[in-house]
Amino acid sequence: MSQVVIEVNNLGKQYRLGQVGKTTIVDDFKRWTHKIQGKEDPFLRIGEENDRSKKGNSDYVWALKDINFSIQQGEVLGIIGKNGAGKSTLLKILSRTTSPTVGEYKIKGRVASLLEVGTGFHPDLTGRENVFLNGAILGMTKTEIKKNFDAIIDFSGVERYIDTPVKRYSSGMYVRLAFAVAAYLESEILIVDEVLAVGDAEFKKKCLGKMSEVSKVGKTVLFVSHEINAIKELCNKGILLENGKLAVAGNIKHVIDRYVETAKQKLAKREWMAQERPGNDFAKIDFVKIVNIQRQENCVFTFEETVGIEVGYEILQNNLRVNICVAVYSNTGQLIFMSFPEKELVKTTAGSHSIICWFPKELLNIDWYTIRVNAHTFYPTNLIFDLIDVLQFEIISNENKIILTDYEDKISGVLKIDCKWELTSN
Amino acid sequence: MQQKQDWDIIVRPHNSLFSINLREVWTYKDLIFLLVKRDITSVYKQTILGPLWMFIQPIFATLIYTFTFGQANLSTDGIPALLFYLIGQTFWNYFSECLNKTSVTFTANAAVFGKVYFPRLVMPFSVIISNLVKLGIQLLLLMIVFCYFYFSGSSMEIQWAYLSLIPFFIVLLGIFSLSLGILFSSLTTKYRDFTFLLGFAIQLLMFLSCVVFPASMFKGVTNKIMMCNPVASSLEAIKFILTGHGIFSMHYILGGIILTIVLFLFSLIVFNKTEKSFMDTV
């Protein structure tokens, strides 16, 4: 039977917020006096849950706490969670670039961590020299690299440039070569952090293919990504982190469902106090709300209802073309569409304005979506504010009987469009 | 009960003080080799004179020293001034560059260390080895100059009996600088104050290491204090072996060895403790 290759017990990592300065030396001293008296570290008892949006009372937070899980050989584990949930911290600890504050973990086999591609690439060295150097940094021996060298060059597709310094490479070639080295690592466990977010579409596909190939030959992969689609495709197991704690672990579909559910927030309006309004000297945003056709705030719509996004903003200078842009993303982070107002609606006078973007109805499939709102000026182009994931709305089916949460029952696809079908028989 | 597994790696917040895994460093010998190769080849890329720069720098420094200190009529222990300063320069450069480069191990490599694990000691070791290679090349220059003076009849006597000790002094200087370097690099990860200290400390240390003047210039207690510095006693010994002029004292050399070993072990412990979590504070 397959055996456990990674076992994590009560892992925790505490960080101190703020700058290194006089208070840290005082804390260090306290810690030391407790240690020589044989007492427990006084700062381990304090520390709060890591929620970055809330103001805390303590300088110490637990980026990770009470993490327990184990991975069997050949499993591809996806680690998901919102920004700041502790995903990268967990990977850093498992790849030994930093040590845990409490708890322990055990690993069987060689570990290669790809928290970044091209670690240690030296711009002045040629591609060939860098392949060897990078491979060695990632833990390969020279003979192993030599053995795989041709395959690496072949996979990267930069054969022609292999004896040119990598500083002359295009960024794409650089990444290709770097990933190729990583793809041929001979270690049993791979730790991968969103390296797939680079390169062109074709190469991304190649990388994903390589990754699933790697897991088929019995290697264990730990994979962190924001792209739920990539995770769904690659992984068979998953863990979900929420504010540094393990929320759920197990089958990947189950974990993703849970993640999607928690990411939903029933909020139809975001407002900012005068002092905290996002923006710059050109303009500031007052509020964003999701409204229905009667201009009432709402965030759950039926398929037949019209969704509107209302943006209130203030232009602070005259003769400035402030253009508002609204974009809709699927819950897996994919951009579905974006929209700008037509030219006549772009305000140029100082003062408070409010603008509504109406989406065409009967378009978006039954699911939930997130909105991004940004504003910029023209000539010169200048981003005034950019609010990613500012609000969310849900499209539900209009049959009142059930709200379809199980997306396997609904028609697939981002859009739900009534197409005209025509049948001709003769 | 599950059968006991044989884990390859067990990571806990605190390991014992002496869990220094030199065997692990050995498994990364290929990396050390490649880093040395990188250090040597990348420095002189896109230069026309290339490795010739390794000669130009000590030549100019020696000429300037010979001129300025010669004007000041400083003693050179009876060794031709040019040779005296070149010997001092060559070995001092080796020492100070090892120290300078190893003292930034953590801060300069933070980007790599933050992404990949390998034994952190690999980096300072590779620095020492690449500087050894550089020293080897610079010794060629020293040999040429030495032969010139030797055969042109200066009053020098090579101490053949001790000649084989020179590599030993080179290793001693290397380990001493490595120890100081990794100690400083560990201290600077959290509190950067030490960077400033080291910057001028190296400059001042040169004047306490018998590089530009011989130890015989000082008498009594000053001389004794001076010779307690392993760099000074090593340099004096090297000068003595090569020319017959200088102080070759077993007491000071033994003292230097003991000091180096103690410092080395201490630095290893500090380095080992720091490397585990320096990413959080660097």
* Whole-number Å distance between alpha carbons of B180 and B103: 7
- B31 chain-A contacts, CB cut-off 8 A: 136-137
pLDDT at A34 over 80: no
* Whole-number Å distance between alpha carbons of A111 and A138: 9
* Between residues B88 and A401, the one the model is more confident about: B88
Q: What is the pLDDT of residues A94-124, one digit of tens each?
A: 888 888 888 889 998 888 888 777 788 888 8
Mean pLDDT across the stretch A243-264? 83
Q: In this complex, do A98 and B277 lie within 8 Å of one another by their Cβ atoms?
A: yes
The angle subtended at Cα B235 by Cα B229 and Cα B236, nearest 5°, is 90
pLDDT at B100 over 50: yes
Tell me, yes or no, if B16 comes closer than 8 A to chain A by beta carbon.
no
pLDDT at B135 over 90: yes
Nearest CA in chain B to A91: B115
Tell me, yes or no, if B116 comes closer than 8 A to chain A by beta carbon.
yes
Query: Of B30, B33, B280, which has the smallest distance from its Cβ to A15's Cβ?
Result: B280
Task: Output the pTM of the full model.
Answer: 0.74
Tell me, yes or no, if B13 comes closer than 8 A to chain A by beta carbon.
yes
Alpha helical stretches, state H, B156-192: 166-188
- A98 chain-B contacts, CB cut-off 8 A: 276-277, 279-280
Tell me, yes or no, if B37 comes closer than 8 A to chain A by beta carbon.
yes
- A185 chain-B contacts, CB cut-off 8 A: none
Tell me, yes or no, if B204 comes closer than 8 A to chain A by beta carbon.
no
Mean pLDDT across the stretch A183-201? 76
Among residues A23, A31, A20, A98, the alpha carbon closest in space to that of B190 is found at A20
* Cβ-contact A392, A299 below 8 angstroms: yes
Tell me, yes or no, if B122 comes closer than 8 A to chain A by beta carbon.
no
Can you give the pLDDT at residue B123?
A: 93
The interaxial angle of helices B230-243 and B220-227, nearest 10 deg, is: 100
Q: Where are the domains of chain A?
A: 74-262, 269-396
- Name the percent of chain A lying above pLDDT 90: 16
Query: Of B116, B276, B277, which has the smallest distance from its Cβ to A138's Cβ?
Result: B116
Query: Of B30, B46, B115, which has the smallest distance from its Cβ to A97's Cβ?
Result: B115
Q: What is the pLDDT of residues B8-36, one digit of tens each?
A: 888 877 666 656 667 788 889 999 999 99
Can you give the pLDDT at residue A23?
A: 65
Q: In this complex, do B279 and A120 lie within 8 Å of one another by their Cβ atoms?
A: no
Query: Of B7, B11, B46, which has the smallest distance from its Cβ to A99's Cβ?
Result: B11
pLDDT at A403 over 70: no
Dig out the tokens for A365 from the structure: 């499939």
Q: In this complex, do B8 and A100 lie within 8 Å of one another by their Cβ atoms?
A: no
* Cβ-contact B259, B230 below 8 angstroms: yes
What is the average pLDDT value for chain A, to the nearest integer? Answer: 82
Query: Of B41, B42, B281, which has the smallest distance from its Cβ to A20's Cβ?
Result: B281
Can you give the pLDDT at residue B50?
A: 82
Q: Which of A37-46, A89-98, A122-131, A214-223 has the lowest mean pLDDT?
A: A37-46
Query: Of A3, A4, A97, which has the smallest distance from its Cβ to B279's Cβ?
Result: A97
Can you give the pLDDT at residue B241?
A: 92
Q: Where are the domains of chain B?
A: 22-37+50-280
Segment 181-200 of chain B within 8 Å of chain A by CB:
190-191
Q: Which of A14-28, A56-70, A293-307, A318-332 has the lowest mean pLDDT?
A: A14-28
Tell me, yes or no, if B113 comes closer than 8 A to chain A by beta carbon.
yes
Q: What are phi and psi of A64, to 5 degrees?
A: -140, 140
pLDDT at A167 over 70: yes
Segment 16-75 of chain A within 8 Å of chain B by CB:
20, 24-25
pLDDT at B63 over 50: yes
Among residues B93, B104, B159, the alpha carbon closest in space to that of B131 is found at B93
Query: Of B7, B33, B113, which has the smallest distance from its Cβ to A97's Cβ?
Result: B113
- B35 chain-A contacts, CB cut-off 8 A: 133
CA distance A171 to chain B (A): 19
pLDDT at A1 over 60: no
* Cβ-contact A283, A318 below 8 angstroms: no
Can you give the pLDDT at residue A22?
A: 65
Nearest CA in chain B to A15: B280
Alpha-carbon dihedral sign for residues A293, A298, A302, A307: positive
Can you give the pLDDT at residue B18?
A: 59
Q: Count CA atoms within 13 Å of residue B111 on its CB side.
A: 8
Q: Which of A24-28, A185-189, A371-375, B259-263 has the lowest mean pLDDT?
A: A24-28
Tell me, yes or no, if A169 comes closer than 8 A to chain B by beta carbon.
no
Mean pLDDT across the stretch A305-320? 89
Q: In this complex, do A129 and B38 lie within 8 Å of one another by their Cβ atoms?
A: yes
Can you give the pLDDT at residue B171?
A: 95
- A7 chain-B contacts, CB cut-off 8 A: 7
* Whole-number Å distance between alpha carbons of A110 and B136: 37
pLDDT at B3 over 50: no
* Between residues A410 and B274, the one the model is more confident about: B274
CATH entry, A269-396, from 2.70.150.10, 2.70.50.60, 2.40.50.100, 3.40.50.2300? 2.70.50.60
Nearest CA in chain B to A98: B277
DSSP state for residue A238 in the 8-state scheme = E
Query: Of A24, A107, A138, which has the smallest distance from its Cβ to B8's Cβ?
Result: A107
CA distance B102 to chain A (A): 17
- Picking from A4, A10, A20, A97 by the largest number of B CB atoms within 10 A of its own CB, the best residue to mutate is A97
CA distance B178 to chain A (A): 21
Can you give the pLDDT at residue A372?
A: 92
pLDDT at B216 over 70: yes
- B122 chain-A contacts, CB cut-off 8 A: none
Dig out the tokens for A290 from the structure: 């999701």
CA distance B103 to chain A (A): 19
Query: Of B5, B13, B118, which has the smallest distance from its Cβ to A139's Cβ?
Result: B118
pLDDT at A300 over 90: no
Which pLDDT band holds residue B2 (cuts at 50, 70, 90)? very low
Query: Does residue A341 have a cis bond before it (omega within 30 degrees)?
Result: no
CA distance B141 to chain A (A): 28
Which pLDDT band holds residue B263 (cuts at 50, 70, 90)? very high
Dig out the tokens for A409 from the structure: 């029952």
Look up the CATH number of domain A74-262: 3.40.50.300
Which pLDDT band holds residue A404 (cuts at 50, 70, 90)? very low
Query: Of A101, A122, A129, which has the smallest distance from its Cβ to B13's Cβ?
Result: A101
Plot region of A363 (φ>0 → left; ψ -120 to 50 → alpha; else → beta): alpha
Mean pLDDT across the stretch A365-394? 85
Query: Of B11, B34, B191, which has the smallest distance from its Cβ to A136's Cβ?
Result: B34
The interaxial angle of helices B81-102 and B166-188, nearest 10 deg, is: 40
The angle subtended at Cα A45 by Cα A44 and Cα A49, nearest 5°, is 90
Plot region of A72 (φ>0 → left; ψ -120 to 50 → alpha; else → beta): beta
Tell me, yes or no, if A134 comes closer than 8 A to chain B by beta carbon.
no
Tell me, yes or no, if A105 comes closer than 8 A to chain B by beta carbon.
yes
pLDDT at B140 over 80: yes
Which pLDDT band holds residue A401 (cuts at 50, 70, 90)? very low
- Picking from B31, B192, B193 by the largest number of A CB atoms within 10 A of its own CB, the best residue to mutate is B31
Dig out the tokens for A220 from the structure: 């264990």
Residue A88: C-alpha distances to residues A64, A98, A115, A179 (Å): 10, 11, 9, 19
Which pLDDT band holds residue A153 (cuts at 50, 70, 90)? very high
Tell me, yes or no, if A1 comes closer than 8 A to chain B by beta carbon.
no
* Between residues B87 and B192, the one the model is more confident about: B87
Can you give the pLDDT at residue A400?
A: 45
Q: The sheet that has A220-224: what strands, in order across it?
A: A111-114, A189-193, A220-224, A76-81, A237-242, A245-251
Q: In this complex, do A96 and B113 lie within 8 Å of one another by their Cβ atoms?
A: no
Q: What is the pLDDT of residues A341-361, one digit of tens each?
A: 888 888 778 889 899 999 988
Tell me, yes or no, if B17 comes closer than 8 A to chain A by beta carbon.
no
Which pLDDT band holds residue A21 (cuts at 50, 70, 90)? low
Mean pLDDT across the stretch A178-183? 85
Can you give the pLDDT at residue A55?
A: 59
Can you give the pLDDT at residue A367?
A: 82
* Whole-number Å distance between alpha carbons of A68 and A106: 12
Count of CB pairs separated by less than 8 Å, A with B: 110
pLDDT at A49 over 70: no
Which pLDDT band holds residue A50 (cuts at 50, 70, 90)? low
